[in-house]
Amino acid sequence: MIKRAVTIKDLAKKLGVSKSTISRALRDHPNVKEATRVAVQKLAKELNYQPDRLALGLVGHKTYSLGLVVPRIDFPYFSHAVSGAQEIASRAGYQIIICQSNESLETEKAVINTLLANRVDGLMISISIETEEYDHITDLQERGIPFVLFDRVIDCIKAPKVVMDNVDAAFRLVSHLIEQGYRRIAHIAGPRGLLVSEQRIKGYEQALRKYGLEYNPAWVIHSGFRVESGEQTTKQLLELNNRPDAIMAVSDSAAMGAVLAIEDAGLRVPDDIAVAGFNNENFTRFVKPGLTTVSLPMYELGQQAVKMLLRQIEHPDGFKVPHPLTLKSHLIERGSTTRR
> Residue 225 carries which side chain, given as an amino acid letter?
F
Half-sphere exposure of 100 (CA within 13 A, CB side): 10
Q: Would 220 be classed as within a structural domain? A: yes
Spatial distance between the Cα atoms of 325 and 253, rounded to a whole number of angstroms: 27
Q: Would 103 be classed as within a structural domain? A: no
Q: Would 228 be classed as within a structural domain? A: yes
Q: Kindly provide the b/e burial profile for residues 31-58, where b requires at least 16 CB atoms within 10 angstroms of the residue's own CB.
A: ebeeeebebbbebbeeeebebeeeeebe
* pLDDT at residue 306 in the model: 97
DSSP E strand boundaries for 223-262: 246-249
* DSSP states of 58-127: HHHT---EEEEEES-TTSHHHHHHHHHHHHHHHHTT-EEEEEE-TT-HHHHHHHHHHHHHTT-SEEEE--
Q: Would 199 be classed as within a structural domain? A: yes
Spatial distance between the Cα atoms of 21 and 32, rounded to a whole number of angstroms: 7
Q: Which helix (H) or strand (E) holds 237?
A: helix 227-238
Q: Would 134 be classed as within a structural domain? A: no
Strand partners, 185: 246
Q: Would 232 be classed as within a structural domain? A: yes
Q: What is the dihedral of CA 195, 201, 203, 205, to 10 degrees?
A: -150
* pLDDT at residue 48 in the model: 79
* DSSP states of 90-101: HHTT-EEEEEE-
| pLDDT tens-digit map of 107-150 | 999 999 999 999 999 999 999 999 999 999 999 999 899 999 99
**Could you say which DSSP state residue 335 is in?**
G
Cα end-to-end distance, the chain, whole Å: 69
Measuring CA to CA, which residue among 201, 161, 170, 198 is closest to residue 329? 170
Q: Which helix (H) or strand (E) holds 172?
A: helix 166-179
* pLDDT at residue 51 in the model: 67
* pLDDT at residue 222 in the model: 97
Q: Would 87 be classed as within a structural domain? A: no
Residue 4 belongs to what domain range?
A: 1-50
Please list the ranges in the chain whose pLDDT falls under 70: 1-4, 51-61, 340
Spatial distance between the Cα atoms of 321 and 141, rounded to a whole number of angstroms: 11
Spatial distance between the Cα atoms of 38 and 5, rounded to a whole number of angstroms: 21
Spatial distance between the Cα atoms of 219 and 186, rounded to a whole number of angstroms: 4
* pLDDT at residue 1 in the model: 41
Q: Total structural domains in the chain?
A: 2
Spatial distance between the Cα atoms of 185 and 244, rounded to a whole number of angstroms: 6
> Residue 123 carries which side chain, given as an amino acid letter?
L
Q: Would 42 be classed as within a structural domain? A: yes
CATH number at residue 39: 1.10.260.40
Q: Rounded to two decimals, what is the model's pTM?
A: 0.79
Residue pair 275/246 in contact by the 8 Å Cβ criterion: yes
Spatial distance between the Cα atoms of 238 and 85, rounded to a whole number of angstroms: 41
* pLDDT at residue 74 in the model: 86
Residue pair 203/222 in contact by the 8 Å Cβ criterion: no
* pLDDT at residue 250 in the model: 96
CATH number at residue 248: 3.40.50.2300
* pLDDT at residue 340 in the model: 67
How many residues in the chain? 340
* pLDDT at residue 53 in the model: 52
* pLDDT at residue 2 in the model: 45
Cis preceding-peptide flag for 146 (omega within 30 of 0): no
